[in-house]
Structure 1
Amino acid sequence: MGVLFDYFRAPDGETALRLLDEGDGVPRGPATIGAGVDALDAKGIDPYVILGKLVGLILGVPWSVGLVETVGVWPPEETRPRSQEEWERLPEDSPWKDGPSLDELPDRIRDALAEVDDGALPSIAGEWSRIEEFGDHPDPTSALRFVESLVALARRARQAGDRLYCWMCL
């Protein structure tokens, strides 16, 4: 079982959480909500490493651990365990242990994606498709389709003054 990721846009964290809340205070993925959420199902593409490597290629910089730093929207920060003892006391169904979680991406990441030259996308996607995290490497055509979809989402977000969010769940 892997971790699932969906990227979507919303004006702010409160709205993003409300879009995903089915009334019980727990965010459901945008792919499961459907209508009304401009989202992209990203399967196993995490924001920190795999998306980070794409952003590095777009910006022409080497990937580093802090290239994509997100801000947590869910679970609530005030419930974060502050010690190993607090972690161990969490119930097994705590979102801190098994999700879901919702993170806001920095506007500089949205803008980097939105500003990339369309003519460069095939080359970027081809190189990105060969990163070691993909293992058996997706074909460059599938990688290009995903990158084009993510770039389009970022452009719509920027045009609307929205931010990008990543919903994650085991």
Structure 2
Amino acid sequence: MDKKILKDVIYYLSDEQGFVASVIEKDFHLTRILNRVNEHLSTDIVFKGGTLLNKVYLNYRRLSEDLDFAYRGDADLSTRGKRSKAITPIREKMPAFLDILGLTSDNPEGKGFNSSTQYLFDIQFQSVLTDKKENIKLEISLRQPPFLEPARVTIKHFFQDPFT
């Protein structure tokens, strides 16, 4: 999308919706990630947490700053080494995924924490509002798989495709 048009749309939506423009801009990039994660990164992760609740069920009572996913692949996750091996394909695909979206990261393979039960990816986008890099945190948890079978849901967002 043209940067000037995006900037104008962000300010328009900020005025219309009552959210700070920088939060609207971040939501734009969060939504872009969500719309492509299963196609270009992995089908073994499931969107979860507060951002999911807000974007799907709570009608934007607040906008989020990060994305939380749970790993649900078939891999054995009983040891640190097995968890590290299970997440490796995602870590290897992350640089190309970010490139597709025009996003960057100082460490695109992310960092593992808590005996490889949690992986954190710090992602940046170039703000059209400030011309500075802004951050998005993407976390993948390998602690516990989802209790329920995942469902495909529509992610609500402010930005509508003009061709739909």
Task: Specify if TM > 0.5.
Answer: no
TM-score by length of 1: 0.31
By percentage of residues, which structure has more helix?
A: 1
TM (normalized to structure 2)?
A: 0.32
Structure with the bigger percentage of strand: 2
